[in-house]
C-alpha cells in the first residue's frame, strides 16, 4: 500500500519541510556570496542536489526493474516503484536543466552551454521521458510490467556510455571546461555545509514524494482491479442475456446454466 | 535448429522481402537524400560550411532513414499476423533479434554507401582514410541495428509507434552519433589516428547492445 | 487419459476487457470440439490462449501436459493455429511462404512442397501472397499449418472465405487429424459445415463455457482416397450439412 508507515511518512514530511526551509535560509542568507560569481552562485544549492536526485531516481528505477525481473523478488510493487521513481527523475532532471540554465545565464550570460554534464543530463531527460511514454501505452497488466522492467534496464545500461562519450567529446574541445560553475566556486565552510544540507533536504523530499506517488499508483492498481472484478461479473452476465458489459451491478444470483467439465 | 541458422532464415526472409518490394531503395533512400538537400538549403552551400559539417549531417540523415527502415522491418510482421506465425513457429527470440538486426544492418549499409556518395558529391568532401570510414561505418551500423531492433519491437504494434520509436531510440544512440561523427571527421580531412578511439567506443556499444538484444528481445517479442 | 488441452479457471484480458472470465475446458485426443457462441463470446481468445498468443491473467493452460504460460515454446511445438490472419508475407510467393514456415518449424523444403500440392496451389506457387485471391490465401493459411504437422489443430472460423476446394481440404484435415489421434478445436459460426465434423459441441458465452454436448462426429474418420460421386456425409444427427464435395473436384 505504501512504502513507509504513515506515521513515519508524516514525520518525514515535516523533516523535509524543515530542511527545505533551512536550506532556503542558508542558501539565500546564511552562506556568503561567492567571490567570483556573486549571489548567482547560490543557485548551486539547488542545482547540485537536483542533479544528484535525478541520478538517484533513475538508479532506483533500474534497481526496482531488476528486482521485478528477478523471479525470487518478483512483485507488482517494484513496477510501481520504478514508474514512480522515473517520474520523479524526469521532474528533477528537468529542474536541474532549468536551474543550470538560469545559473549559466546569470554567470556567463548564456542560457545554455555545451558542458558535458548539462548535455548528459539533457540526454538523460529524454531517455526517461521515452521510458515514461512507453509505460503509458496500453499493455496487459502482467506482461506490461515485465516489458517496462526490461525497457528500463535497456535504457539504464546506456547511461554510463552516454556519460562517457559526452564527457570525452567535450574534453576534446578547448572551450569545454570554461562552463563549470561548480568548479570555479570555492566550496568551504558554511557553503559546504549548505550544500550538504541541500542534498539532504532534497533526498528527504525524494523519499517523501516517492512514497506518495507509490501510494497513488497502488490506489490506481486497486481501482483497476475492482474495475476488473466488476467487468468480469458483467461479462459473465452476458451469458444470461443481460445487456452490455459496463454495468457494474451483479446479475441476480449465480449463473444457472450448466457448466460441465468434459 | 540452431539460433544462428534460424537467424539466417529470418534475415534471408527480410532481405528477400526487401529485394522484392524495394522499399528501402525506392522510399527510404530518397528520403535520406532529401534530408541532405534540406540541410544544404538550410546551411547555404555558398558559405563553404557544408564540407566541414558533412560528417554530422550524413549521420543525422542515416539516423532518420534508419527510423523508417526499422519501422518497416516490424510493419511487415504486423501485416497478416506474421508476427504470431513467427512466434508459433518456435524460433527463439534471440534468433529473431539477430536475423532482423542483420537485415536492418544490411539495408543500412547500402543506404550509407549511397548516401555517402551523395554527401561526397553534394557537399564536396576530402577523404583521408577509407579504412577509418569503413570501420566506423560498420561499428556504428551494428550499434544502430541492434538498438533499432530492440526499440523497434517495443514500439511495434502500438498505435503510437511512429512517434514513440524516435523518442525511444534517438536519445539512446547519442554515443553512436557522437562516435560516428567524430570518426568520420577524422577520416574526411582530419587525422585518422584520432578516429580509432571513437571506433572502439562504437564497437563496444554495438557489442553491448547485441548482447542485450540476444538476452532481452525474446521476452519483449512475446509480450504483445 | 490426460487431456491434450486443459484449461482451468482461465481469465484473459484483451485491451483491459475480460474476454475470458473463468474458462474450464478440456479436449482429448481424437476429439473434434466445436466451439460455438455469439460474437464477442471469447472464441478467438480461447484459441489464442491455447496457442500462447493471448495473455493469461488467472488460471492454468496446459497443452500436452506442458504449461503454456511457463514454457511457451515447448507447448507450441505440436500445435497449429488457423485464424483470420494467414501468417504470411505479402511479398513472398506461396511457395516461399510455405518454405519459410516449414524451415521455421524445423521441417524441410519437401514438406513445404507437399503442403503446396495438398492445398492445390501448385499453379500459384510463384504468385505472391499479396496477389492471391482470398480463397487461395485461406488455403495457403491451411498449408502453413499443415507443414507444422501438428497433433493439435486450432481453427478459428476456418470456413470463412474458403472456396469449395478449400472446404474439402479442411474436412480432410479435420477428419484425418481426429482419426490419427490428434485433436481439433474448432470455433465456428458455420454450424451447417462444422457440426458434421464435431464429436463434441461446447458453447461459450460471456467469456465462460456454458454447455458441452457430445455429438456423433464425422462418420468417415479416415480420409477417403477413392474417387467418387458427391457423397453425403450421412447420419450426422444434426440439421443435415451439405454433401461432401466430390472427390473429383478435390483431385483437380
> A52: distance to nearest CA of chain B, Å?
20
CB contact under 8 A, B201 and A165: yes
pLDDT for A225-260, tens place per residue?
A: 888 889 999 988 887 765 544 434 344 434 434 444
CA-CA-CA-CA torsion sign (B202, B203, B206, B211): negative
Mutation target to probe the C interface, by most C beta carbons within 10 A, among A71, A140, A246, A247 is: A140
CB–CB of A47/A98 below 8 Å?
A: no
Residue B85 has pLDDT above 90, yes or no: yes
- Count CA atoms within 13 Å of residue A14 on its CB side: 5
- Residue B185's pLDDT band (boundaries 50, 70, 90)? very high
Percent of chain B scored above 90 by pLDDT?
A: 76
Q: What is the pTM of this model?
A: 0.87
Residues of chain A with Cβ-Cβ distance to B220 below 8 Å are: 147, 150-151
* Residue A173: predicted pLDDT: 61
Neighbours of chain C (3+ CB pairs under 8 A): A, B
* Residue A242: predicted pLDDT: 56
> How many residues belong to chain B?
224
Mutation target to probe the B interface, by most B beta carbons within 10 A, among A93, A161, A172 is: A161
Question: CB-based contact (8 Å) between C95 and chain B?
Answer: no
Q: Look over chain B and give the mean of its residue pLDDT values, rounded to a whole number.
A: 92
pLDDT, mean of residues B121-143:
91
CA A147 to mean position of chain CA atoms: 18
CA-CA-CA-CA torsion sign (B166, B168, B174, B176): negative
* Residue B224: predicted pLDDT: 57
pLDDT for B22-59, tens place per residue?
A: 988 899 999 999 999 999 888 877 767 888 889 999 99
pLDDT, mean of residues A196-222:
93
Q: Going by DSSP bridges, is the β-strand pair C32-36/C183-187 parallel, antiparallel, or unpaired?
A: parallel
CA B219 to mean position of chain CA atoms: 22
Residue B171 has pLDDT above 60, yes or no: yes
Residue B60 has pLDDT above 70, yes or no: yes
* Residue A113: predicted pLDDT: 83
CA-CA-CA-CA torsion sign (B207, B210, B214, B220): positive
CB contact under 8 A, B17 and C101: no
pLDDT for A49-75, tens place per residue?
A: 999 999 999 999 999 999 999 999 999
> Phi, psi at residue A189, to the nearest 5°?
60, -130
pLDDT tens by residue, chain C, 252 residues: 577 899 999 999 988 889 999 999 999 999 999 999 988 889 999 999 999 999 999 999 999 989 998 888 888 989 999 999 999 999 999 999 999 999 999 999 999 999 999 999 999 999 999 999 999 999 999 999 999 999 999 999 999 888 888 899 999 999 999 889 899 999 998 888 889 889 999 999 988 998 899 888 766 555 544 444 444 443 343 444 444 444 444 444
- Residue A37's pLDDT band (boundaries 50, 70, 90)? confident
DSSP letters of B80-106? GGHHHHHHHTT--HHHHHHHHHHHHHH
Residues of chain B with Cβ-Cβ distance to A147 below 8 Å are: 154, 219-220, 223-224
In angstroms, the CA A116 to CA A113 distance is 9
* Residue C227: predicted pLDDT: 46
pLDDT, mean of residues A68-95:
94
Contacts of A21 (CB under 8 A, 6+ apart): none
Question: Between the CA atoms of B141, B144, B150 and B151, what dihedral angle is there, to the nearest 10 degrees?
Answer: -150
pLDDT, mean of residues B121-141:
91
- Residue A176's pLDDT band (boundaries 50, 70, 90)? very low
* Residue B1: predicted pLDDT: 62
DSSP H/E element including B117: helix B93-119
Amino acid at each position: 500500500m505504501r512504502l513507509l508507515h504513515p506515521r513515519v511518512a508524516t514525520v518525514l514530511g515535516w523533516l523535509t519541510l524543515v530542511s527545505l526551509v533551512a536550506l532556503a535560509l542558508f542558501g539565500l542568507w546564511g552562506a556568503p556570496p561567492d567571490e567570483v560569481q556573486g549571489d548567482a552562485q547560490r543557485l548551486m544549492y539547488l542545482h547540485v542536489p537536483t542533479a544528484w536526485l535525478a541520478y538517484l531516481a533513475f538508479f532506483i528505477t533500474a534497481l526496482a526493474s531488476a528486482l521485478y525481473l528477478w523471479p525470487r523478488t518478483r512483485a507488482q510493487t517494484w513496477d510501481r516503484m520504478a514508474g514512480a521513481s522515473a517520474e520523479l527523475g524526469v521532474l528533477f532532471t528537468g529542474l536541474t536543466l532549468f536551474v543550470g540554465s538560469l545559473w549559466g545565464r546569470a554567470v556567463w550570460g548564456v542560457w545554455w552551454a555545451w558542458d558535458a554534464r548539462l548535455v548528459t543530463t539533457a540526454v538523460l531527460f529524454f531517455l526517461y521521458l521515452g521510458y515514461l511514454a512507453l509505460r503509458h501505452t496500453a499493455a496487459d497488466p502482467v506482461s506490461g510490467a515485465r516489458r517496462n522492467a526490461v525497457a528500463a534496464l535497456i535504457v539504464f545500461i546506456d547511461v554510463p556510455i552516454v556519460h562517457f562519450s559526452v564527457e570525452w567529446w567535450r574534453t576534446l574541445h578547448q572551450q569545454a571546461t570554461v562552463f563549470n560553475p561548480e568548479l570555479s566556486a570555492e566550496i568551504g565552510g558554511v557553503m559546504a555545509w549548505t550544500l550538504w544540507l541541500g542534498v539532504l533536504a532534497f533526498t528527504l523530499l525524494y523519499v517523501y514524494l516517492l512514497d506518495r506517488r507509490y501510494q497513488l499508483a497502488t490506489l490506481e492498481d486497486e481501482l483497476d482491479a475492482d474495475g476488473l472484478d466488476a467487468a468480469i461479473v458483467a461479462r459473465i452476465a452476458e451469458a444470461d442475456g443481460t445487456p452490455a458489459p459496463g454495468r457494474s451491478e451483479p446479475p441476480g444470483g449465480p449463473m444457472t446454466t450448466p457448466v460441465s467439465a468434459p | 535448429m540452431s539460433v544462428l541458422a534460424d537467424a539466417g532464415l529470418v534475415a534471408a526472409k527480410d532481405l528477400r522481402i526487401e529485394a522484392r518490394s524495394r522499399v528501402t531503395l525506392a522510399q527510404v533512400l530518397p528520403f535520406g537524400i532529401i534530408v541532405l538537400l534540406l540541410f544544404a538549403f538550410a546551411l547555404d552551400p555558398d558559405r563553404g560550411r557544408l564540407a566541414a559539417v558533412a560528417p554530422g549531417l550524413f549521420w543525422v540523415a542515416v539516423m532518420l532513414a534508419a527510423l523508417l527502415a526499422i519501422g518497416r522491418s516490424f510493419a511487415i510482421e504486423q501485416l497478416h499476423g506474421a508476427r504470431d506465425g513467427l512466434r508459433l513457429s518456435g524460433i527463439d527470440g534471440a534468433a529473431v533479434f539477430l536475423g532482423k538486426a542483420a537485415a536492418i544492418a544490411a539495408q543500412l549499409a547500402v543506404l550509407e554507401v549511397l548516401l555517402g556518395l551523395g554527401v561526397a558529391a553534394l557537399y564536396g568532401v576530402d577523404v583521408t582514410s577509407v579504412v577509418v570510414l569503413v570501420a566506423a561505418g560498420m561499428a556504428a551500423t551494428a550499434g544502430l541495428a541492434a538498438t533499432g531492433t530492440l526499440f523497434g519491437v517495443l514500439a511495434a504494434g502500438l498505435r503510437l509507434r511512429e512517434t514513440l520509436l524516435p523518442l525511444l531510440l534517438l536519445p539512446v544512440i547519442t554515443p553512436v552519433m557522437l562516435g560516428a561523427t567524430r570518426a568520420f571527421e577524422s577520416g574526411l580531412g582530419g587525422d585518422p589516428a584520432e578516429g580509432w578511439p571513437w571506433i572502439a567506443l562504437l564497437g563496444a556499444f554495438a557489442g553491448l547492445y547485441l548482447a542485450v538484444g540476444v538476452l532481452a528481445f525474446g521476452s519483449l517479442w512475446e509480450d504483445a | 487419459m490426460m487431456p491434450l488441452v486443459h484449461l482451468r479457471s482461465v481469465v484473459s484480458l484483451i485491451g483491459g476487457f475480460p474476454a475470458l472470465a473463468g474458462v474450464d475446458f478440456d479436449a482429448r485426443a481424437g476429439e473434434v470440439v466445436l466451439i460455438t457462441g455469439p460474437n464477442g463470446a471469447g472464441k478467438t481468445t480461447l484459441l489464442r490462449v491455447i496457442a500462447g498468443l493471448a495473455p493469461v491473467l488467472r488460471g492454468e493452460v496446459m497443452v500436452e501436459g506442458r504449461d503454456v504460460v511457463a514454457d511457451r515454446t515447448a507447448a507450441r511445438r505440436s500445435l497449429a493455429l488457423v485464424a483470420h490472419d494467414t501468417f504470411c508475407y505479402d511479398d513472398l510467393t506461396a511457395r516461399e511462404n510455405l518454405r519459410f514456415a516449414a524451415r521455421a518449424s524445423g521441417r524441410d523444403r519437401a514438406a513445404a512442397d507437399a503442403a503446396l500440392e495438398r492445398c492445390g496451389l501448385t499453379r500459384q506457387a510463384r504468385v505472391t501472397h499479396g496477389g492471391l485471391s482470398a480463397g487461395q490465401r485461406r488455403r495457403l493459411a491451411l498449408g502453413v499449418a499443415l507443414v507444422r504437422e501438428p497433433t493439435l489443430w486450432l481453427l478459428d472460423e476456418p470456413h470463412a472465405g474458403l472456396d469449395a476446394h478449400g472446404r474439402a481440404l479442411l474436412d480432410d484435415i479435420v477428419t484425418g487429424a481426429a482419426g490419427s489421434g490428434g485433436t481439433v478445436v474448432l470455433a465456428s459460426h458455420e454450424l451447417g459445415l462444422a457440426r458434421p465434423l464435431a464429436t463434441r459441441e461446447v458453447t461459450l458465452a460471456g467469456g465462460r463455457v456454458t454447455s458441452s454436448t457430445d455429438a456423433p462426429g464425422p462418420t468417415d474418420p479416415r480420409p477417403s482416397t477413392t474417387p467418387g460421386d458427391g457423397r453425403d456425409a450421412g447420419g450426422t444427427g444434426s440439421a443435415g450439412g451439405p454433401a461432401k464435395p466430390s472427390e473429383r473436384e478435390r483431385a483437380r
